[in-house]
Structures are given as C-alpha cells and as structure tokens.
Structure 1
Amino acid sequence: MNTLVVRPARIRTAGVRQQILLTAQQRLMILMLLFTAAFFLVSLRLLYFAMFDTSAGRGSGSAVFVPARADIVDRNGVPLARTIDGYSIRVVPSKLINKPAYLADELHRIFPDMPREELLAKLTGPHATYIRRRALPDQVAAVNAIGDVGFDFPREKERLYPQLTLAAHVLGFTDAEGHGVTGVEGAFDDRLTNDATRGEPLKLSIDARVQGVLESELGYAVTQLEAIGGAGIILDVHTGEVLAMTSLPTYNPNKLVAGNTEARRNAVTYNLYELGSTFKPLSIGAAIDNGVVTSMAKRYDATKPLAIAGFHIRDSHMMNRWLNVPETLIHSSNIVTAQIADQLGREKMEELFRNLEFDGRPHIELKERAFPLWPRDWGRVTTMTTSYGHGIAVTPLHLASAYAALVNGGLWRPATLLELGDKAPPKGRRVFKASTSARMRQLLRLIVADGTGRNADAPGFRVGGKTGSAEKPGAGGYRRHSLVSTFVAAFPMDNPRYVVLAMIDEPKGNAFSSGQRTAGYTAAPVVKKVIMRAGPMLGVFPDESRDVDVSELTPLLWKDEKGD
C-alpha cells in the first residue's frame, strides 16, 4: 500500500507581503543615500582642488589644465607644436625571459630603421635603456605582444608637431628632456616653460596656409631643377612680421635623423650668400638719395667692359650701348651700376649697408643667425663690386628686410616671428627718403613688366622686384656653373604690403627652366605662383584695373629690344 504525502501550499498573508516590500524599499533608499553621499564628497574634493590647491605644478585653479610646455600656434590659432602624453619603450635586461638574439630579431621587424646590432646591445647591456622614445601606438602594441616582462612602457611628456615638416626651421625642436634646442622652441624656451606663461599658447606671425604655399612651390621648383637647396620668406613691409619662412632641404621635428644636420640649418637666417644683382636697386636708391643720380634720362657707357684695377667688370648680356637708370635695372647692368657706385663713393656705399644692418647678424628672435661676410678692404673696387652684390655675403633675411625698407617709404624695421596683433609696430629707422622709395617702386615694377623679372608678373597683383644670379665663390675664384639664383619682390607695388623672396641654390638648366639657370627662369616663376596663391589669403586680390604709374619712365626705354 503506497502512502501519498502532499505538501501544504505556502500561504502569505497581506501583512507579510507588505512587510517584505517595506524592507526592500528601505534597503533601496539606503543605497541611494550612500551613492548620493559619495557623489557629494567627490564633487567637494574636485571643487577644493579647483579653488584652493596650490601644490607644485598647479599655479591656480585653472592651472590644473596647464600643459607642461606651452603650445605654439600660428596667427590664426592653428596648432604648430603641443605637448601630449606619449609612450616610450624601455628594456630592463636583467628581467628578460627570452633570449636576446630572438628579441633583437623581433624588435628589428618592428623598428627596421634601427640596426639589429644596436638593438642587441641595448638588450644585453647592464642597465635599463630606452628602445624608442616617442613610440607610435602600433609599435607599443607590437612590442607588448612579444610577451616579455623585461619590456615596460612608461608614459612621458612628448612634444608633437601636428603639421609634420611645415615650418620646421621656424619651430625647431626639443631634446629628450623637453628643453628647446633650435628655432622658436629654443629662442622662447623660458616663455614656453614658465609657470606664469605656459598656460597661454605662443602665437607666431606665421600663417600656416601661406607657409604651406611657399613650401610647396619652392620645394617643387628645387626638385624639378635638381638644386641642392633653397630658401624663401614672406615679410610684412610695414610691421616686419614674417608670414612664412622656409628652408630646403627640410626635416620632420617629430622624428630627428642622426647626422642630418645640414637639413636642420635655416638657410634664411643662418646661411650666407653673395646675392648678386638683387643689390642693384639698393645701390641705385642710395645714389638717388645722395644726389648722385638726379635724372632718369642720364645715360652711362655700357658699350664695353669696365676696366678697373687690373680686371674687367662685365655684363652677362652686353647691350653694347649707353644705358639710362631704368634700362640699367631692366637689363641688370653691372657696368653701369659700378659706375654709379664709383660716383657715390666708398663712404656712402658703406653707410648704406650699415644702415641696412648688413654688418651684423639678421634681426629676428631665432638663435640661428649668421654674421655676414663683411669686406676687409673698402677700396674703390669693393665699392663698385658690392654695388651689384659681389664681395659681400648676407643672409636672405637681410635682403628681405632691406627690400621692405626700399618699398615701404624708406623705413627699416627688424623682422619678427611674433604676431603683433593690436600692438603698434616698431617705429623703424629711416634709410631711404620717401621720394626715393616712391621712385624705386616704379623702377622695380618696370623690371617685372619689361625686364629680367617678367616671369614673376602675376596678373593683377602689380609685382615689382629684381633678379639676382650670382656665381658661388670657390677655391681659386668664382665657379661659373654654380649659381645662387634669387628673386626678391614686393606686391602690390602701388601700395606695397609684402616682400616675397625665393632663392634656389645651384639650379640645373634643364627642360623645366628652358635650359636656363638664372633667376629670371628659376626663382621668378616661383614668386609668381606664390603670390597668385597666397595673395588672396593675405587679403590682396588681383585687380588689373590698377597699376603703378610709370608713364614718365616708359618713354626712356629703348623701343627695339626687351630685357633678358
């Protein structure tokens, strides 16, 4: 006989259910109160740090977010350099569990730019050492995937240049400890690291858009002409602000290559060149200022080379006739310029170059500034040859600042890499009379309209400027086949605002330049392209209804020929 046992149903009264619900509700309320209290305490703590914490590295409430090194930005706020938290890769040899030879092979696959022998030496050394600073995230992940406890990945402050090579020589770079070495980084190291100032970005006068235009056009020409390098600058003629500055070859400050020191030299401020015929307008301007040239119609003998002190001054293209001043500049005559300089005399010629600061390092905030090669003997020959840019060597920045003074009404001002903003520009120092500056604007415009600078004539921009094609000095004299080709211009010449200089070091005469190496065929086209692209960015738009009034000079030009 089977016995069936039935469990009685569990019956809960309404009172019991109400008690259970009340208990659950109370527990939920307690949890909510605890969460609210924790949130309140955290908020109070954050508020305290924001308002009252003055510990090291926190100057004030807002200083919690102050970077270790100030950002560098262009005049429009575009970031050019900033400090971020980055990864490094370090090895502690005593902790390695894999064989060094195996690890060296693995690391070499990740870092093909590092010799295997160098990696092996790091892995077998007596002390902890860095495999790579400023390591990329994928490199960190790859090393971590090796799975060896001997590697660690410390976080460090890293200086990042988000625009890569853009304005590299202007910005410079920092060392492994974060100190500025060259460029703006070196020149303004105190400003960038000072607790009182590093919270605000350092704003430069550079315009990243214009900088990109100058770099691309000059770089393309240097490559096509198979040149060894180049230099370029765009300068505000009224303030001295540098809108763009480039030097070629260039480098990436994010990844410095050992031994690549030549690429780090700033050719604009640190390299010296005899800049040839670009000096002629300066010499003619001084002659007009001092009453040596009183008439544009006066003619000078250019029918034969000029004999002086046992050698002859020649023109690259002999005109075989008498030339007046406009024709002298249009055809770039050494012979006539030397005669005018001889009449001007040593004292006034030397005074001109000293007034233009050609006897000292270029004026700009950078540390990388070269001292010019000043003539040892200022005799009669030196006075004549320096008038057309031989026997004296300066930087391209020297020349750009001189041309700014030549066209802006006659006032020389130092160049600056800092945006002035609402600040008044330096008063400047008068080096040319205002009337002389006005005359030189006409003559420079004629050079581009009818002379050696025709290939720089950007339609509607009223460009004026001067070519210079100088043989480079070498052992035993000048090297005829090694030219420094320079074109320096200003625009718009009816009311000049900017100087643009392009220099190409040792261009080859090839199909790109119609077989020519001179500035009119190599550097002048670069300036034209730069002005056409960058002019509107700088607020200068083409207007073919306007131009410089040269009506009193054009009748003086020989009608049967054009300058070349």
Structure 2
Amino acid sequence: MNTLVVRPTRVRTAGVRQQILLTAQQRLMMLMLLFMAAFFLVSVRLVYFALFDTSAGHRNGSATFVPARADIVDRNGVPLARTIDGYSIRVVPSKLLNSRPYLADELHRIFPDMPREELLAKLNGPRPTYIRRRALPDQVAAVNAIGDVGFDFPREKERLYPQLSLAAHVLGFTNADGQGVTGVEGAFEERLTDKATRGDPLALSIDVRVQGVLESELSNAVANLEAIGGAGLILDVHTGEVLAMTSLPTYNPNKLAPDNGGARRNAVTYNLYELGSTFKPLSIGAAIDNGVVTSMAKRYDATRPLAIAGFRIRDSHSMGRWLNVPETLIHSSNVVTAQIADQLGREKMEELFRNLEFDKRPGIDIKERAFPLWPRDWGRLTTMTTSYGHGIAVTPLHLASAYAALVNGGIWRPATILRLGDKAPPQGRRVFKASTSARMRQLLRLIVSDGTGRQADAPGFRVGGKTGSAEKPGAGGYRRHSLVSTFAAAFPMDNPRYVVLAMIDEPKGNAFSSGQRTAGWTAAPVVRKVVMRAGPMLGVFPDESRDVDVSELTPLLWKGGKAD
C-alpha cells in the first residue's frame, strides 16, 4: 500500500507581500509620471504654436481642407462648381475572367447610353481603359456585382456642377484631366488652381435666382415659338456686373455628349447677329449728341421708300406720313432713321460704333468672345443701313453694354462676370452726354408705353426698350422668313439699374405669338415676364405712382395713327 504525500503550499510572510505591493505602486507612479510628462510636453508644444507660430499653424492646418480646385459660387455664396472625390470604372482586359460578349451584355444593361459594340471594343482592347468617368454610385455597385477582377474603381477628383445646366455657358467645364476648358473654368484656370488662392471660392456676379428666372422664361418662349435658339442677359448698368446670362440650346456640364458641341457655344458673347432696329436709339442718341437732331418736333418724310445707291430703304409697316423723332422710334421707321444717319455722316456714325467697341471683341472676362463683322466698304449707304442695324453684326453682349451706356448717364463700361463686392466699378468713359441719356430714357419709355414694345410693359416697373426684328443673311441676300427677334430694355427708366435683353433666333409665327414673328410679339413678352419675376429679387419693386416724365413728348404723338 502506497502513501501519497502532498507538499503544502508555501505561505508568504506578511513582510514579503507588503514588499511586492510597494514595488507595484512605485511602478504605477512611474508610469503616471511619464504620462503626465508627455502630456505636459504636448500641451506646451500646442500652446507654443498657438501663441508664437500662428502663420505656420494656419498654413498647415488649412492645407488639409484646401480643395484641388477652388469652388465657384454665385454672388450670394450658392455653390455652382465644386471638386469632390468620385469613382471611375476602368477595365483591365488582361485580368478579365468572364467571356467578353457576356461582360459586354452586362455593361450595356448598366450603361444603356453606350453602344454594346463600343463596350465590347473596350473589353477587347490591348490596354486598360475607362468604361465611365464620373460614375454614379449605383453604376459602380452594379459593375462590382458582376464579380470580375478585371474591373477596378479608381477614386479620382471630380468636378461637380450641382445646379446642373443652370448658367452652363457662364461656368464652362473641365476636361478629363481636371483642367478648365471654357467659360469661367477656362478663363480663371490659374486662380482656381493656385495653392495660394484655391482655398477661397471664386464669387461670380451671377445671381442663381435671377439666372433661373431668365432661363425658364426664355426657354419657354423658344420652345413655344419653335425657334432654333435664343440668348438672354441681365446687366447692372452702373457696374457692368452680369446678373444672368443664358444661351439656348444649353447643355449639362456634368455630362458632356460628343454631339452637343453646338449647344456649348455661348450665343451671348460668341455668336454674331445683325440686331436690326435695336440700333436705332443708339443712332438717334448720337444725332442728338452731335446737334443733328435739335428738336423732337422736327418731321421727316416717311411717305415713301428712300432710294440710295441703287437700293430702296423701306419701312416694314409704313405710316405713309411725315414723322418726328419720337414717332420714328415708336413706329420703328427705317426711312427716317436712315435720313438722320445721312445727316450725321459716316465719321460720326463710325465714331459712335467705335466708342461702343463694336469694332472689338465684347468686353468681358471670359475667353469665348467673337470679333464683330465690321463693314468693309463704309460708304453713304453703309452709314444709313447700319443706323438701323443692318450691315454690321455684333454679339448680344455688345448691344447690352451699349444700352447700359445709353441709359446710365452716358458712361460705357466693360461687362464682368465677377462679383465686385466692395471694389469700385471700372471708371469707364463717356459715350453720350448726360442730357442725351436723359432724353433717351424718355424715348425708350415711350416705345414701351405707346409703340412696338407694348408687350414688354411690366406694370409698375417702368420698362423702356426697343424692338429689333432683323432678317438673317444667307446665300443670295437676306432671308425674309428667318428673323432674329430682339428686345433690348432697361428698368426702372426713372432711375435705370438693369439692362434686360432677350433674343429669339428664328421664331415661328404660330398660335403662341398670334401668328407674328417680330420682336414685339416674341421677345418683348419675355422681358415683361423676366422683369416682373426677377425685379423684386434685384431690389426693384413695382410702384404705379412713379414713372418717367414724358409730358413734353406725348403732345408730339399723332393720335390718328396706329403703332405697329
């Protein structure tokens, strides 16, 4: 029988246990002291940077938040363009596991806008290629769900335009490498990408609320009139700031299609037009300035066409009588305007157009600016025809800047797409006398209250302006059934603040316009609607108790006639 002997556990004495506990406490204190010392050093370092190295701290701290490309915002800070991190979808053909035809079918289901043959060509290509840049999250998820390792999804900087097509021609767009191509993106490439400035948004003069009004009213008119396009502009007459600018047809800079190149042209700054009778107030203003027209009551023969150099200048709706200056503008007489221009002479007429920079690209800070079509042979006939807008072609922006000078006291300034803020506007230069500008405000108001511009009369807003319905030139001469219909206006005429221009390219005479194609029936109503909606946004409210004093001119209007 064996006996198991168990050795009892050694019992530590109280002194040993106390020594172990003391050692543990000392180690814990050491760790606490080390932690406190580290915390103290970090705190001292932070205080030092805060008090003595603020510049470096600001620079290093803000660098984390500086975008790769500056945001673009409207005058009120609403974002118009912003750079974000986005996904792209790329295929690496050498890594594909599934059959190419199967993958092409799956991709075509995800991207129905891309032909299957194009997708198959990408899958069979010799090198990696993009299926879609700026891919939507659901598209990325769908391609990922195919489960083929030959697809990858690189993260890339993406330029996003949150307002979609709003102000597309103003903003422009960037290319696949993120470089600005057109519009503000192209014109301010350095400002938008410079490390020293890209942290601050670039503020434009555009007001997105006003831009939305102009775009909606003009696009409705273009659609209803079955026109091929249009252009619109709202301009501050005292600063040259552009509050709204639109060109139709338009495009979405988030998704550029290869076949919409024509839609990317900015009709306001890059397309040239003979703008017709909208030139007449400019010519009459020059005649008043130079002492050719000294009396509003003087009458001119408009009973028959004017024969000159083998041509006959006619009125589209002849009044068959003698007309004074107010009646000439109210009834839009080519015959009388040509006679006044003939008296003014080539030198003064040419001087007017050069002072308004009709011989240069329009003054604005984007690159898409067309050079006007200046008359080659400026003889007596040219002097007469250009006075009513034929034989010279400019952009709508040229005309808007000229009207700003006509009504603001006579000072011409270039337009700008940037918000001036506290900056003083350009000094500009005098083109019309202040007294002439005051007279033209009266005459422009009469055109709307009593003449061809009646349908632009927004109650209480004191709109003044001029219609222009010009036949488009073509092979063998002018095309009678292809009109550019324009209404150039300003408001409120007792103290002008804004020019509003609406142009419709080749409107059809249909039920919407009572069968008419001229500006009084097509473009003028657009201006009325825009002023009534956008006026309060711009700080101009209707006031029926105020208006331009035209009491000295109204007795000169023949009451037996009828304005067209």
TM-score by length of 2: 0.92
Please report how far the alpha carbon of residue 61 of structure 1 lies from its aligned counterpart in structure 2 after TM superposition. Answer: 2.5
CA distance in 1, matches of 2:512, 2:34: 78
Per-residue deviation, residues 478-510 of structure 1 (Å, max 9, x unmatched):
000000000000000000000000000000000
CA distance in 1, matches of 2:47, 2:322: 84
Match of 1:557 in 2: 557
CA distance in 2, matches of 1:537, 1:284: 33
Please report how far the alpha carbon of residue 283 of structure 1 lies from its aligned counterpart in structure 2 after TM superposition. Answer: 0.1
Written as runs of structure 1 = structure 2, the 5 A alignment for 1:188-337 is: 188-337=188-337
Structure 2 gaps, min length 5? 1-21
Per-residue deviation, residues 73-96 of structure 1 (Å, max 9, x unmatched):
000000000000000001111111
Per-residue deviation, residues 302-359 of structure 1 (Å, max 9, x unmatched):
0000011111000000100000000000000000000000000000000000000000
Match of 2:186 in 1: 186
CA distance in 2, matches of 1:39, 1:117: 64
Match of 2:394 in 1: 394
Classify 1:173/1:42 alpha carbon distance in 2 versus 1 (closer, same or farther; 3 Å): farther
Per-residue deviation, residues 422-473 of structure 1 (Å, max 9, x unmatched):
1111111000000000000000000000000000000000000000000000
Kept in 2, the 8 Å contact 1:483–1:518? The answer is: yes
Classify 1:83/1:121 alpha carbon distance in 2 versus 1 (closer, same or farther; 3 Å): same
Classify 1:307/1:151 alpha carbon distance in 2 versus 1 (closer, same or farther; 3 Å): same
Classify 1:254/1:43 alpha carbon distance in 2 versus 1 (closer, same or farther; 3 Å): farther
Match of 1:67 in 2: 67
Letter in 1 for 2:211: Q
Per-residue deviation, residues 157-205 of structure 1 (Å, max 9, x unmatched):
0000000000000000000111000000000000000000000000000
Residue 113 of structure 1: SS of its match in structure 2? Answer: coil
CA distance in 2, matches of 1:90, 1:242: 41
CA distance in 2, matches of 1:76, 1:82: 16
Letter in 2 for 1:550: V
CA distance in 2, matches of 1:482, 1:446: 28
Kept in 1, the 8 Å contact 2:89–2:131? The answer is: yes
Please report how far the alpha carbon of residue 35 of structure 1 lies from its aligned counterpart in structure 2 after TM superposition. Answer: 11
Classify 1:52/1:308 alpha carbon distance in 2 versus 1 (closer, same or farther; 3 Å): same
Please report how far the alpha carbon of residue 260 of structure 1 lies from its aligned counterpart in structure 2 after TM superposition. Answer: 1.1
Per-residue deviation, residues 516-547 of structure 1 (Å, max 9, x unmatched):
00000000000000000000000000000000
Structure 1 residue runs of 4+, over 3 Å off? 25-55
Per-residue deviation, residues 133-171 of structure 1 (Å, max 9, x unmatched):
000000000001101111111100000000000000000
Please report how far the alpha carbon of residue 409 of structure 1 lies from its aligned counterpart in structure 2 after TM superposition. Answer: 0.2
Written as runs of structure 1 = structure 2, the 5 A alignment for 1:30-429 is: 60-429=60-429
Letter in 2 for 1:537: M
Please report how far the alpha carbon of residue 37 of structure 1 lies from its aligned counterpart in structure 2 after TM superposition. Answer: 11
Classify 1:29/1:142 alpha carbon distance in 2 versus 1 (closer, same or farther; 3 Å): farther
Kept in 2, the 8 Å contact 1:53–1:61? The answer is: no
CA distance in 2, matches of 1:482, 1:466: 20
Kept in 2, the 8 Å contact 1:462–1:493? The answer is: yes
Residue 303 of structure 1: SS of its match in structure 2? Answer: coil
Letter in 2 for 1:168: A
CA distance in 1, matches of 2:519, 2:530: 15
Classify 1:45/1:162 alpha carbon distance in 2 versus 1 (closer, same or farther; 3 Å): farther
Classify 1:248/1:327 alpha carbon distance in 2 versus 1 (closer, same or farther; 3 Å): same
Please report how far the alpha carbon of residue 293 of structure 1 lies from its aligned counterpart in structure 2 after TM superposition. Answer: 0.2
Letter in 1 for 2:462: R
Please report how far the alpha carbon of residue 64 of structure 1 lies from its aligned counterpart in structure 2 after TM superposition. Answer: 1.5
Letter in 1 for 2:502: A
Letter in 1 for 2:122: K
Structure 1 gaps, min length 5? 1-21
Residue 145 of structure 2: SS of its match in structure 1? Answer: helix
CA distance in 1, matches of 2:423, 2:143: 52
Match of 1:7 in 2: none
Moved more, 227-236 or 33-42: 33-42
Letter in 2 for 1:395: T
Letter in 2 for 1:305: P
CA distance in 2, matches of 1:106, 1:274: 52
CA distance in 2, matches of 1:36, 1:228: 76
Match of 2:434 in 1: 434
Per-residue deviation, residues 346-389 of structure 1 (Å, max 9, x unmatched):
00000000000000000001100000000001100000000000
Kept in 2, the 8 Å contact 1:450–1:562? The answer is: no
Per-residue deviation, residues 88-108 of structure 1 (Å, max 9, x unmatched):
001111111111110000000
Q: Superposition RMSD on alpha carbons, in Å?
A: 2.9
CA distance in 2, matches of 1:309, 1:82: 58
CA distance in 2, matches of 1:338, 1:420: 40
Classify 1:422/1:163 alpha carbon distance in 2 versus 1 (closer, same or farther; 3 Å): same
Match of 2:527 in 1: 527
Classify 1:339/1:178 alpha carbon distance in 2 versus 1 (closer, same or farther; 3 Å): same
